[in-house]
Structure 1
Amino acid sequence: MLTPRQKLLALLTLCLTLLAPVPAQAATAGPAAARNPVVFVHGYNADPGVWGSLREDLRADGYADSELFSFGYDTHQSVNEVLSGRLAAYVDEVRRQTGAARVDIVGHSFGSLVSRWYVKYGGGTAAVDHWVSLAGPNHGTSTAWACALWDQACRDMTPGSYVVKNLASGDETPGAVKYATFWSDCDEVVNPDASVPLAGALNTPVGCLKHNDLLGDDATSAGVRAFLRS
């Protein structure tokens, strides 16, 4: 049993503890980890709306909408003569808006060729930190022959095309850019499946997923986000 004096001392001690200032180290949060804005490049016959799931996952990881950008473009045009130059201008604008020295690029399917040409031949090695390809026909796909007679982008995706040969020549992953690919062994669009991986990249098999399913697959998303943090 506490005496009245002991009770008073205990109460005063409790009050002083609650009123004591929080140490500066505990009160001050550490600086946020530096990260690059992300530029998404969709695939053939698609639009920026395909990135909804991955954008949501990145927002859950702490990215702001002001750090996530989607490059929209006419997918029936030439990779090397038109689209890679337009992507270069878009990336320059993203860097100007954000003040970032470099961006990360995530491309799906045909967007992988557009963004690779920009990195390799359009000055992108100085502006891109991480480059990711989801189901990209990086060495061409035989399914593109179905529309190659009338569509330039399809011709660019055929095995042995001018674009495919030049991207494969010399170093497939040039510069200080970090490269990653994610590929499925059940891809109905990219044929053969081995077209996706690149020499010098982190090449990750995702199992049996359809071509567009990589866009919403949780494990693939986790792999992409871990790579962007590397």
Structure 2
Amino acid sequence: MIKNLVRRSSALLLALMPLLAAAPASAVPDAPEASGPDPIVFVHGWNPDPSPWRSMATRFEADGWPADHLDQWSYNSTQSNATTAAQFAEEVDRVLARTGAAKVDVVTHSMGALSSRYYLKYLGGATKVDAWVSLGGPNHGTEVARWCGGAACVEMRPGSVFLKDLNSGDETPGATRYATWRSPCDTLINPPSSVVLDGAFNSTTACLGHSALRTDGAVYAEVRTHVR
């Protein structure tokens, strides 16, 4: 009897094999979806809180960036940019841990370019930042900084020890994709050519004020293309 049951089971299995082989493709589990865009860390300039980024962050969210991938970071802008860079390194690590991303994109305005560049050049940031953006950054200093005080302002003055060190050698180190935007009508970055970096995609905007670089629609569209 046992032999008969074995023979019948084997015969049934052979009969079912063509049906199993013809199983529909939908029975195969779907492959994981591609990961979304990199998180963006926004870095403000001297003196303000992160609120000026709301306009740009809202646009990124409308274009598909998850709200928790848009980090409007705040820091004490009176301290040395080197100190801010160390704090920024911790913030990037927090964002990567929270989102599970491999890298972030960094969008900076004004003095925010300096601390983030220090992080990229000296604190290992080039391995964690995919795309970097400077909107009206005093990358080679601004004469306006001669009229304000404190460590950060001194570092923004043309020819400062901080800027000489930051701009020595390669201005755009690592595999990070660098881009800058400058306005011919930006009276706070003097001269406007200070924004330009060797090795970056450097763009000149329409006649915009310093703050308008964060809110202008055309600038946003170009930044979005760069970080996407």
**Corresponding residue number in structure 2 for 1:68:** 70
**Corresponding residue number in structure 2 for 1:20:** none
Task: Give the whole-Å Cα distance in 1 for the aligned partners of 2:154 and 2:34.
Answer: 45
Q: Give the 5 Å matches for 1:26-37.
A: 31-32=33-34, 34-37=36-39
**Corresponding residue number in structure 2 for 1:10:** none
Matched residues, number: 201
**Corresponding residue number in structure 1 for 2:11:** none
Tell me the CA shift for residue 31 of structure 1: 3.6
Task: Give the whole-Å Cα distance in 1 for the aligned partners of 2:203 and 2:180.
Answer: 6
Tell me the CA shift for residue 34 of structure 1: 3.7
Task: Give the whole-Å Cα distance in 2 for the aligned partners of 1:54 and 1:70.
Answer: 10
Q: Give the 5 Å matches for 1:66-145.
A: 66-80=68-82, 82-145=83-146
* Deviation per residue, 1:154-190 (Å, 9 max, x gap): 0010001122111211000000000000110111100
One-letter amino acid matched to 1:98: T
Task: Give the whole-Å Cα distance in 1 for the aligned partners of 2:95 and 2:31.
Answer: 28
One-letter amino acid matched to 1:220: V
- Taking every aligned residue pair, what percent have the same amino acid on both sides? 48
Q: 2:220 is paired with a residue of what secondary structure?
A: helix
One-letter amino acid matched to 1:177: T
**Corresponding residue number in structure 1 for 2:195:** 196
Task: Give the whole-Å Cα distance in 2 for the aligned partners of 1:190 and 1:70.
Answer: 23
Task: Give the whole-Å Cα distance in 1 for the aligned partners of 2:123 and 2:101.
Answer: 18
Structure-2-length-normalised TM-score: 0.85
**Corresponding residue number in structure 2 for 1:47:** 49
* Larger-Rg structure: 2
Which sits farther off after the overlay, 29-38 or 213-222?
29-38
Task: Give the whole-Å Cα distance in 2 for the aligned partners of 1:140 and 1:37.
Answer: 29
One-letter amino acid matched to 2:97: R
- Segments of 5+ residues of structure 2 without an aligned counterpart are 1-24
Structure 1 runs (4+) greater than 3 angstroms displaced: 28-34
One-letter amino acid matched to 1:176: A
Task: Give the whole-Å Cα distance in 2 for the aligned partners of 1:56 and 1:29.
Answer: 31
Tell me the CA shift for residue 100 of structure 1: 1.0
Task: Give the whole-Å Cα distance in 2 for the aligned partners of 1:29 and 1:48.
Answer: 38
Q: Give the 5 Å matches for 1:130-169.
A: 130-147=131-148, 150-169=149-168
Q: 1:63 to 1:29 in 2, by over 3 A?
A: farther
Tell me the CA shift for residue 99 of structure 1: 1.0
Tell me the CA shift for residue 30 of structure 1: 9.6
Q: 2:56 is paired with a residue of what secondary structure?
A: helix
Tell me the CA shift for residue 32 of structure 1: 4.8
Q: Give me the CA root mean square deviation.
A: 1.6
Structure-1-length-normalised TM-score: 0.84
